[in-house]
Homo-oligomer: A and B are copies of this chain.
């Protein structure tokens, strides 16, 4: 199953918008910092599905949030995602040579530049969100920073990356792999939906169904990733696959087997769509995103 026409259009739109915003936000200076900004641009522009900004904008769209505001906040979120990929690809981490079909940042530049480009992209995320030019209301600015920081630090994404490294030693069971993935991938997908709700000024107590939706698609996304790693096409993926089995790492697929993993992902997607019951056709994009997450080929 390919992406629905609605989703195809939304993906093409957000990809262009995110690229344009990164381009605007990262002018190359005429001094020795040029190499840093060029490496940031290399990693940030023109690659990736932009699933996180899409989720943020689609959620914000439920509440009539200004599109350019949602995109700008999506770019902040994507900056965190991109920084994590740069650092994840480093020789001391996954040691990956290819990402999005081109050499990884430390291969195209060098390791030191890649470390700094990742560092500066993380900072950039918080520069954007705390900028009065992004959001006028200071309460919303502070809450966006809080949501993104909580999701991406030691209690979120980076914590999950650490667990992932420890997991290479083996011995992780299904609850531990689930927890690992909820942090490593789920936290940032959850932040996407939460930030959309923050922009929509949905009070915390009104976000429950969105959080459940995000949790379910987060796990489904990771199971789909494990299945793609198990049986996907390296050329389509634009990166090396079948590294998990080589590393002796426990995944949803190694623990459940491919068939049960696929069923589990399918069930999670149906459950995610079910959480959107209170919304009408305006939530069709979020529904299509949920379905696409397990149908994608890369």
Contact = CB atoms under 8 A, between A and B. Distances in A.
Contact of A120 (B92, B131, B159): B159
B36 A154 contact: yes
A31 interface: yes
Interface string A115-131: 11011101110110111
A112 to B, nearest CB: 5
A93 to B, nearest CB: 5
A247 interface: no
Contacts of A167: 32
A168 B149 CA distance: 34
B123 A163 contact: no
B154 A123 contact: yes
A158 interface: yes
Contacts of A132: 142, 146
Question: Of A36, A142, A167, which is in contact with the most chain B CB atoms at under 10 Å from its CB?
Answer: A142
A52 interface: no
Question: Of A149, A163, A179, which is in contact with the most chain B CB atoms at under 10 Å from its CB?
Answer: A149
A79 to B, nearest CB: 10
A165 interface: yes
A32 B123 contact: no
Contact of A158 (B36, B92, B149, B166): B36
A149 B127 contact: yes
A93 B120 contact: no
A139 B183 CA distance: 30
A115 B92 contact: yes
A87 B113 contact: no
A161 interface: yes
Contacts of A129: 145
A119 B32 contact: no
Contacts of A118: 119
Contact of A141 (B120, B142, B150): B142
